[in-house]
């Protein structure tokens, strides 16, 4: 029997928090409160956008978005990342919950943001592309560098090719919080000078999304050229791999970038990490440098977008691992 369902769009996470947590537990068999509280509350870029479907008091569908700024050619644009799209299996047929949620959030967000983006699974991706005018804007490559040998194989041999090392004129200062006074001027200069499209962050946003995250235990570094702050980096360890979630060096300086990555590779080797991982689009300015530093491309991830403005490009994007909702 087809039910009468209620659809709502809201930014009030607190009012729906328990229903979202219970819904996730009902579908996935476990609660994930730290994840939702980390990503849905306290965002300095704005409150999360929630597209929700209720059957009475029971949450049976959601399509949610997290706001984040995009910069292109020095101009800031508003964007939102699609996260945690979920429909109760009992409501996937006959009710059209997923399609109605997509239409609801798209209509509401058209007046609020310039761009929607997502990293959808294969099932959702087909619907976004076919019915809702999304497109694959970039193939984000996953690159890995061997930092510790693990047995006698061809891959392990590469750990001896261009191994990481420290540099006297560049250091990575470990921080528990990024300093707005020190880092924000660097990020503003970077935004004004940058020609490509990328996800712009402030120190406050970096602290919220990464260093203050309750679900993911990340590590932050301010990159120093002598006594001058010239960028930042955030990493996250998962098993035997260390992912570079985000990195910026002032002026997209190839030598600063090379030295910072070399230092990170050295740290990974010393700490028993087997692989250093970084993401790059084909148009990323640093992608050729990765190949020179013996990073091997393993696979691609589709970066999906739906633009409400013609001012954002189809090419020339820089997308990092930390621009995803799950690292």
Q: Is residue 121 located within the same domain as residue 191?
A: no
Q: Is residue 150 located within the same domain as residue 119?
A: no
Last residue of a domain, one of 66, 98, 133: 133
Does residue 258 lie within any of the structural domains?
A: yes
Q: What is the pairing mode between strands 218-225 and 197-200?
A: unpaired
pLDDT value for 108? 98
Lookup result for tokens 């058209």: 110
Q: Number of structural domains, the chain?
A: 2
pLDDT tens per residue, range 202-261: 999 999 999 999 999 999 999 999 999 999 999 999 999 999 999 999 999 999 999 999
Q: Is residue 190 located within the same domain as residue 248?
A: yes
Does residue 240 lie within any of the structural domains?
A: yes
When computed from its CA atoms, the radius of gyration of the chain, rounded to whole angstroms, is 21
Q: Is residue 147 located within the same domain as residue 116?
A: no
Q: What is the DSSP letter of 95?
A: S
- Give the span between the Cα atoms of 324 and 327, in whole angstroms: 6
- Give the span between the Cα atoms of 163 and 115, in whole angstroms: 40
Last residue of a domain, one of 70, 100, 133: 133
Does residue 1 lie within any of the structural domains?
A: no
Does residue 145 lie within any of the structural domains?
A: yes
For residue 224, give its domain range.
140-304+313-323
Task: Give the Å distances, CA to CA, from 94 to 26, 51, 89, 91, 300.
Answer: 21, 19, 11, 7, 34
Does residue 189 lie within any of the structural domains?
A: yes
pLDDT value for 95? 86
pLDDT value for 178? 98
Q: Is residue 207 located within the same domain as residue 293?
A: yes
Q: Is residue 115 located within the same domain as residue 170?
A: no
Helix axes 33-40, 13-28, angle to 10 degrees: 140
Residue numbers of the chain with a pLDDT score lower than 70? 1-2, 150-163
Does residue 73 lie within any of the structural domains?
A: yes
Q: Is residue 124 located within the same domain as residue 33?
A: yes
Q: Is residue 82 located within the same domain as residue 25?
A: yes
Does residue 10 lie within any of the structural domains?
A: yes
Last residue of a domain, one of 108, 133, 158: 133
State the CATH number of the domain containing residue 203: 3.40.630.30
Q: Is residue 115 located within the same domain as residue 199?
A: no
Q: Is residue 224 located within the same domain as residue 258?
A: yes
Q: Is residue 73 located within the same domain as residue 180?
A: no
Does residue 159 lie within any of the structural domains?
A: yes
Q: Is residue 150 located within the same domain as residue 124?
A: no
pTM for the complete prediction? Answer: 0.93
């Amino acid at each position: 029997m087809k039910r009468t369902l209620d659809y709502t769009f809201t930014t009030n996470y607190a009012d729906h928090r328990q229903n979202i947590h219970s819904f996730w537990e009902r579908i996935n068999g476990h609660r994930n409160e730290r994840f939702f509280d980390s990503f849905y509350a306290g965002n300095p870029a704005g409150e999360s956008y929630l597209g929700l479907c209720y059957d009475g008091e029971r949450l049976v569908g959601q399509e949610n978005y997290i706001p984040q700024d995009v910069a292109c050619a020095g101009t800031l644009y508003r964007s939102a990342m699609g996260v945690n799209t979920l429909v109760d299996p009992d409501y996937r047929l006959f009710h059209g919950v997923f399609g109605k949620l997509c239409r609801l959030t798209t209509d509401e967000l058209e007046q609020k943001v310039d761009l929607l983006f997502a990293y959808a699974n294969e099932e959702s991706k087909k619907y976004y592309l076919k019915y809702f005018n999304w497109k694959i804007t970039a193939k984000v490559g996953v690159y890995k560098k061997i930092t510790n040998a693990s047995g006698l194989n061809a891959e392990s041999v590469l750990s001896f090719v261009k191994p990481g090392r420290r540099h006297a004129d560049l250091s990575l200062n470990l921080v528990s919080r990024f300093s707005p006074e020190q880092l924000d001027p660097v990020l503003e200069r970077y935004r004004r000078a940058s020609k490509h499209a990328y996800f712009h962050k402030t120190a406050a946003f970096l602290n919220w999304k990464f260093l203050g995250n309750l679900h993911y235990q990340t590590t932050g570094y301010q990159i120093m050229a002598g006594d001058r702050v010239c960028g930042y980096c955030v990493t996250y360890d998962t098993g035997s791999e260390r992912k570079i979630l985000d990195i910026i060096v002032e002026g997209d300086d190839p030598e600063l970038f090379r030295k910072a990555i070399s230092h990170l590779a050295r740290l990974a080797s010393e700490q028993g990490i087997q692989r250093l991982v970084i993401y790059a689009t084909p148009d990323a300015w640093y992608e050729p440098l990765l190949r020179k530093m013996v990073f091997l491309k393993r696979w691609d991830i589709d970066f999906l977008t739906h633009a409400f403005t013609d001012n954002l490009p189809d090419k020339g994007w820089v997308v990092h691992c930390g621009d995803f909702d799950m690292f």
